[in-house]
Amino acid sequence: MMLPSSSDLHGNERFDLTIRGGRIVTDGRVVEGDLGVRNGCIAAIGGSLPPGKRDIDATGRWVLPGGIDSHCHVEQRSGMGMMCADDFYSATVSAAFGGTTTIVPFAAQHRGMSIPEVLADYSQRAAEKAVIDYGFHLILANPDEQALGVDLPQAIRDGINSIKVYMTYDKMKLDDYQLLDVMALARQEQALVMIHAESNDMIRWIAQRLIERKLTAPKYHSVAHDPLAETEAAYRAIALAQLVDTPVLLVHVAGRDTIEVIRQARQLGANVLAESCPQYMFLKAEDMDRPGLEGSMFCCSPPARDEASQEAVWQGLIDGTLSTYSSDHAPYRFDESGKLPNGDATTFKEMANGVPGIELRLPLLFSEGFLKGRMDIHQFVALASTNHAQLYGMSPRKGAIVLGADADIAIWNAERETTVTASMLHDNTGYTPYEGRTIRGWPEVVISRGRVVVENDQLQVERGSGQFLRRGAPALQGHLPQRAVERPQGRVLKALIGLDKEGQ
């Protein structure tokens, strides 16, 4: 994504907006001073600027890039046919109130649907409702000849530069052969493959036995989704990706052993990236052990684990084993539309998988990561925003406060203390797994392309005012391991994957 030319930024005309006296995090530095916005872009950083058409006082506040949430499910039907609780309006409003100015949700292909039909449908719904900018990843459930040969390359050219594939869920999963096909295509077309890594057969085998024994309560979800199901699939995905020399990103990584596999693979030079999410740092498997079906409100896949895994996720985010921190917002109501499709008789196999988190993602990390001293403000910004922009082809326009970038800004009050309740949030889930938690720090003013989106706890923009982002190729430099593996592929395999044009 390109920045505007310097003539668009300079000039004597007044700034449209001047943000005064904040602590601006820009390019690895903290600059105290003013920030000027013109034509929706950042036009001046630091020093003392003349009055703008509008001034916002940020004295004593952090002025940070708006967050980017590169993994959230919005107005999407699950593989089981359940519609999530948020549409593009409620999800983007909720994201904005939590300091996020860009989301990249999924356009989900289910078997029997064509890719152009899926993209047209999601594009229309988002354009009518989104209040902040958005792109799409494509969920690919049917990698047939038409998809791989025609539709997917076209989608990538149209700015959908990332593809999510599933190794589990009977109606979504690809087999290893199909995964190799998708990875090889992504290599050729410069797209990033995002992988939901869990072993379908391990989960199915355990679940079958649990159900036969009538062990159906929500807590058995985490028994069925044994940590080894994630670790085995992660290892397999990495091996497949290495075979065809394609970088891949493992999404929503939950378990300590999986993180260790990723760390070791990276140390050996494998081009694997990974993401984690608040549920794996702030929730545990035992949260699903509640009376009746209440535990379903904490059910996601992979499930949250234990304290050792929570610590491993923190460590992975801090040491760079995990590059992005996303919400995996997958909102389902605690009723027949989501968590309880069969009412009181719902088993753990039937309840919708997913937890909400689009609004609390950044406040949780700011409070528990930055303010508690686990990470510095630059690590917070990288995990909240910059890394997402780079990996998903939105940099330099998004993800950083630099001259010429979109003026996507969140002004954080580090003193504000909030006790979380579902009713203060703006999504449609009707509950939050973080009910009653105390959080310090809140993004009080949120700005997208120079437009004030949230101020005084009120939404300030119209539905449909967000814009579609046509993303570019992933920018992976700095995120992949330093050490490249020289794999001893024979010439024939090298030729098959395009490493050796001459071979055969």
Binding site for Zn ion (CB under 5 A): 196, 328
Position 324 contacts ligand DUC (CB under 6 A):
no
Among 330, 382, 425, 447, binds ligand DUC (CB under 6 A): 330
The one of Zn ion, ligand DUC, none whose footprint includes residue 353, by CB under 5 to 8 A per kind, is ligand DUC
DSSP letter for 468, please.
Answer: B
Q: Are 437 and 463 in contact (CB under 8 A)?
A: no
Tokens of 283: 């929730």
Q: Are 58 and 19 in contact (CB under 8 A)?
A: yes
Angle at 444 between CA 438 and CA 445, to 5 degrees: 160
The one of ligand DUC, Zn ion, none whose footprint includes residue 406, by CB under 5 to 8 A per kind, is none
Per-residue mark of binding to ligand DUC, 184-223 (x: CB under 6 A): ------------x---------------------------
Among 354, 357, 363, 396, binds ligand DUC (CB under 6 A): 354
Tokens of 151: 């539709």
Tokens of 185: 């295509």
Q: From the CB of 288, what's the least distance to ligand DUC, in Å?
A: 12
Q: Which residues contact 350 (CB under 8 A, 6 or more apart)?
A: 80, 341, 342
Q: Are 390 and 34 in contact (CB under 8 A)?
A: no
d(CA 276, CA 452): 29
Position 126 contacts ligand DUC (CB under 6 A):
no
Position 305 contacts ligand DUC (CB under 6 A):
no
Position 285 contacts ligand DUC (CB under 6 A):
no
Position 328 contacts ligand DUC (CB under 6 A):
yes
Q: From the CB of 76, what's the least distance to Zn ion, in Å?
A: 9
Position 395 contacts ligand DUC (CB under 6 A):
no
Angle at 70 between CA 264 and CA 228, to 5 degrees: 40
Q: Closest CB to Zn ion among 245 and 328?
A: 328
Q: What stretch of H or E contains 310?
A: helix 307-319
The one of ligand DUC, Zn ion, none whose footprint includes residue 56, by CB under 5 to 8 A per kind, is none
Position 300 contacts ligand DUC (CB under 6 A):
yes
Q: Closest CB to ligand DUC among 167 and 362?
A: 167
Q: From the CB of 20, what's the least distance to ligand DUC, in Å?
A: 41
Q: From the CB of 433, what's the least distance to ligand DUC, in Å?
A: 12
Cα radius of gyration rounded to whole Å, the chain: 22
Q: From the CB of 305, what's the least distance to ligand DUC, in Å?
A: 14
Q: From the CB of 298, what's the least distance to Zn ion, in Å?
A: 15
Tokens of 15: 């700034």
d(CA 248, CA 266): 12
Q: From the CB of 435, what's the least distance to ligand DUC, in Å?
A: 19
The one of Zn ion, ligand DUC, none whose footprint includes residue 300, by CB under 5 to 8 A per kind, is ligand DUC
Q: Closest CB to ligand DUC among 42 and 82?
A: 82
Residue labelled with tokens 């027949």: 336
d(CA 287, CA 246): 37
Phi, psi of 385 (to 5 degrees): -145, -60
| Encoded amino acid at 360, one letter | L
The one of Zn ion, ligand DUC, none whose footprint includes residue 226, by CB under 5 to 8 A per kind, is none
Q: Parallel, antiparallel, or unpaired: how do β-strands 55-57 and 17-26 relate?
A: parallel
Q: From the CB of 196, what's the least distance to ligand DUC, in Å?
A: 5
The one of Zn ion, ligand DUC, none whose footprint includes residue 285, by CB under 5 to 8 A per kind, is none
Partners of residue 42 on adjacent β-strands: 37
The one of ligand DUC, Zn ion, none whose footprint includes residue 310, by CB under 5 to 8 A per kind, is none
Tokens of 304: 């949250």
Partners of residue 105 on adjacent β-strands: 72
Q: Closest CB to Zn ion among 9 and 358?
A: 358
Among 258, 353, 367, 448, binds ligand DUC (CB under 6 A): 353
| Subset of 54-83 contacting ligand DUC (CB under 6 A) | 73
Q: Closest CB to ligand DUC among 9 and 193?
A: 193
Q: Parallel, antiparallel, or unpaired: how do β-strands 324-325 and 67-72 relate?
A: unpaired
Among candidate residues 88, 117, 89, the one with its CA nearest the CA of residue 105:
88
By CB under 6 A, the count of residues binding ligand DUC is: 8
Q: Are 409 and 17 in contact (CB under 8 A)?
A: no
Q: What does the binding site for ligand DUC look like in residue numbers (CB under 6 A)?
A: 73, 196, 300-301, 328, 330, 353-354
